[in-house]
A and B are shown apart, each in its own frame.
Chain A
Amino acid sequence: MSTKPEAEKKKQCWLGIEDSEEEGTGGGSEQEEEESRLKGLERRSSKRRKVDYASSASEDDDGGTDGDNRDADEEGEEEVDEEQEGIREKGKKKSRNTDKHDDLLITSSSRLKPLSKEELAASKEATAKTGVVYLSRVPPFMKPMKVKSLLSRFGEVGRIFLSPEDPKAYARRVRFGGNKKRNFEEGWVEFKSKKIAKLVAETLNTTTIGGKRSAPSVTCGKKGSYYHDDVWNIKYLPKFKWHHLQAQIAYENASRQAKLRAEIAQATRENKTYIRNVERAKMVEKMESSRKRKFKELAEASGDKDSKQPEPLEIRRQFRQRSAKGKKAEEGEGKESSEKVKRLLNKFTNCNKSGSFAH
């Protein structure tokens, strides 16, 4: 490692330990922050791929969503992308010189180039402005797109996450003939502007969703909204950003990778020792055989067969042997079959002397 250039050394560094405290990057050095941003990106992009799959599946048919997609993540999730992500996606692919370790660690995410300073500043500013509201209850079977369309009347909505119900509960409902749509329990919605987020929470909380009435009116004959009479439960989360939601997952991923790296380093050391020993064994074998050959030649040359043979290698180490088990082995040790078995055998020999057919 010491031979590698400084920059690369640094990169290795943050991959290992520093990213475990990824959340505390607020006041860190520029370099560090840039990299943590980048890491977040990688993770997010890999996650988005997964999520997109899940949400697209749920979009076309709410009932037939493949449960397995969700299982990939403990909570399962549903996220809506928006323009802000677009800015980040501008970051191009990174052409990093990575050694094998990095290769192994970052397998799923695509390599991205760090953002330029201006882009970074812009995205930081945008993040600072955002506000997150919490929905303690999501109206029955309301999908993320519906939440988005209802809330985007008030201002630009960023990401949305609604946590789906327990798959068990879903399975139970379906089994007993209930609604096959996916239900969501609670959710978080990001607004581009803190102000709007606060305003939305204050004004909408405990009010009905409204819109057109759900009962088809005789006069106009149009269908109204299913959610007309449902009530919003919204709270503004002060000093809360979207990344706080992902902190736990990020931490787990980072610590997992660090652990894996340590494990692999250990394995590498073991392997090196093993290979060294294999080489040594070959050497010893060769020495042995050549020694034997020499003795033989010597004996033939001198013509006397009685000259002492080379002694076989002395045994350097004894291993404790596992002992054989089972009937034969135990029989040898004079063990008898157990009480239970004996009783069973007796049962076999008990016969029906007087009996008749059970017909």
Chain B
Amino acid sequence: MPEPTSFAELGIERWLANSLGAMAIRKPTPIQAACIGPILEGIFSLHFPPWEGTTDKSVGKDCIGGSQTGSGKTVAFAAPILQMWAEDPFGVFALILTPTRELALQIVEQFKALGAPQNLKVCLLIGGADMNEQALSLATRPHIVVATPGRLADHIRSSGEDTICGLRRTRVVVLDEADRMLSETFAEDLEECLSVVPKSGVYGRQTLLFTATVTPEVRALKEMERTNGRRGVFICEVDTDRLAIPPSLSQKYLLLVPHTREAYLHTLLTTPLNENKSVIIFTNRTHTANLLTHTLRQLSHRVTPLHSELPQRERIDSLGRFRAEAARILVATDVASRGLDIPVVELVVNFDVPRDPDDYVHRVGRTARAGRGGEAITFITQYDILLIEAIEKRTGRKLEKYIDEPGVSLEGRVVREMLQEVSEKKRAAVMAVEEGKNEYGKRKRKLQDKANNLGSKRKKDAR
């Protein structure tokens, strides 16, 4: 099959191609070229009701799509869904499930942008926001529902049949970051979510799975035996195993002693080449992220945190600040490692080495998106050699040793000036964290914190 050069060739209608063009998406990427056609086949079944002797071949296929980070997977499912929806626009046409709230928000925005000419109604169901508002908006049967599994399961359990009845005739279900969604963390909630949508099959729902890292669970789905009533499954893996990392990304490492990492990080962020880059720094724990935010702020960097211990409002604000480049540095945990598309990011720093090689793939995938260049620097300590070996095995590429920029000796700078200053600020930051101050040096309101804790506890109990 020759490479299609435009969306029209893939069977995308003009209005949709135009709104894609408005987002500067003109040429389909390999994953889009491969997936859109098979997903769209279902359109015919709408014109000719399937009960009049349709075969498996004339309905849209279930799809498992895998391709490297930043290759346009979101559009690969958004475009066909919108086209099918435009043929038959009814309430809750599609349900999209994502592992993180920020990713859900991003997908909602993309859908809104694409569906604007057709009055698309999108509903966002995520944790950390008001449940009543969400229930009301869900009850109006929006066309597309984007949700995180925990909150959707909560609605199914507690919001009543009137609210969720729209979901019972959902045509398409998408699992974005399918490998994460099919892990143990989400299994229970996801089961609950799938219990309300129609069963899969020719007459039921169409299931689409997308991920950058294909795991055995995802593969297991395609190996399940095809029974008569099932849709054909289409699998498209664009070199996920060997090429999970975009070729335009350069991966470096620095071998360090754990307690000097902050000093090296500070020095690294202030070198002439990195001075103005947008940077994401990944840590393994929320506590580390919090502490690092305090320390870097004391060192007068424009830094903003993103991790699960923040209230949802702050998480969204924080990400917004970073997107708008009001903050140059985002200190995040793995909450931000998947799916987030922030084109300006030029450098990813792994402050801790991730335990799971797949997480590494997703983390460094925040840069070098859509064919751009990017750099990833991983801080390795003496305890992380096995982890690095696992990562190199997973990605099939060796990390290179970090080489100093011309005219800057990183180690020299650290030893000469930065080490003392940074360690002082770090100790001060530790004390500030212990005293419960936020990163601007103000004490948090005790009552507010208590209320928040109480709220989250209640939610946990409810779950």
A interface list, Cβ under 8 A from B: 68, 71-72, 74, 104, 166-168, 256, 259-260, 263-264, 266-268, 270-271, 274-275, 278, 319-329, 331, 337-338, 340-341, 343-345, 347-359
What band does the interface of chain B fall in when counting residues whose beta carbon is under 8 Å from A? 35 or more
List B217-269 residues whose CB lies under 8 Å from chain A: 217, 220-221, 224-225, 227-230, 257, 259-260
Residue of B nearest to A337 (CB): B217
Per the 8 Å Cβ criterion, residues 187-216 of B in contact with A are 187-188, 190-191, 194-195, 198-201, 203-204, 207, 215-216
A343 contacts B423, C-beta separation under 8 Å: no
Question: What are the nearest 7 A-B pairs in CB distance?
Answer: A326-B356, A351-B201, A340-B187, A324-B390, A352-B199, A358-B169, A267-B423
A167 cross-chain contacts in B, Cβ below 8 A: 445, 447
Q: Say yes or no for B426: interface residue by CB 8 A criterion.
A: yes
User: How does the 8 Å CB contact mask read for B174-189 relative to A, with 1 for contact and 0 for none?
Assistant: 0000010011100110
- From known contacts A326-B359, A327-B215, A341-B183, infer whether A271 and B423 are also in contact, taking CB-CB under 8 Å: yes
Establish whether residues A351 and B200, one from each chain, have CB atoms under 8 Å apart when the complex forms.
Answer: yes
The A-contacting residues of B in range 346-385, CB under 8 angstroms, are: 353, 355-359, 382-385
On whether A352 and B203 interact (CB within 8 A), knowing A267-B423, A271-B420, A341-B217, the answer reads yes
User: Is the pair A71, B199 in contact by a Cβ cutoff of 8 Å?
Assistant: no
- Output the least CB separation between B298 and chain A (Å): 12
Contact call A351/B227, Cβ cutoff below 8 A: yes
| Residues of chain B having any CB pair with chain A under 8 Å | 49-51, 168-169, 179, 182-184, 187-188, 190-191, 194-195, 198-201, 203-204, 207, 215-217, 220-221, 224-225, 227-230, 257, 259-260, 353, 355-359, 382-387, 390, 394, 411, 415, 419-420, 423-424, 426-428, 430-431, 442-443, 445, 447
Partner of A344, one of B50, B191, B224, B431: B191
> Which of A168, A324, A343 is the one whose CB lies under 8 Å from B386?
A324
Whether the pair B201, A355 counts as a contact (CB closer than 8 A) is yes
With a cutoff of 8 Å between Cβ atoms, the chain A residues found around residue B183 in the complex are 327, 341
Name the A residues within 8 Å of B390 (CB-CB): 324, 328-329
Is the Cβ of B203 less than 8 Å from the Cβ of A356? yes
6 sample A-B contacts, Cβ–Cβ < 8 Å, listed by A number = A323-B387, A327-B183, A327-B216, A340-B187, A347-B195, A351-B200
A54–B425 alpha-carbon span in the complex (Å): 28
Chain B residue nearest in CB terms to A354: B229
Q: Which of A259, A324, A351 contacts B356 (CB 8 A)?
A: A324
Pick from A71, A166, A340, A341: contact of B442, CB below 8 A: A71
The answer to whether B230 and A351 have CB atoms under 8 Å apart is yes
Chain B hits for A356, CB < 8 A:
51, 203
- A321 contacts across to B, CB distance below 8 A: 383-387
When distances are taken between beta carbons in the complex, the residues of chain A under 8 Å from B199 are 350-352, 355
Q: Which of A104, A268, A328, A354 contacts B358 (CB 8 A)?
A: A328
**Are the CB atoms of A322 and B387 closer together than 8 Å?**
yes
Distance of B399 from chain A, by nearest CB (Å): 15
Select one of B195, B201, B217, B355 contacting A352, CB under 8 A. Answer: B201
Contacts of A319 in B (CB 8 A): 382-383, 385
Give the nearest-CB partner of B388 in chain A: A324
Asked whether, in the complex, the Cβ of A326 is within 8 Å of the Cβ of B358, the reply is: yes
CA distance A139 to B206 in the complex (A): 68
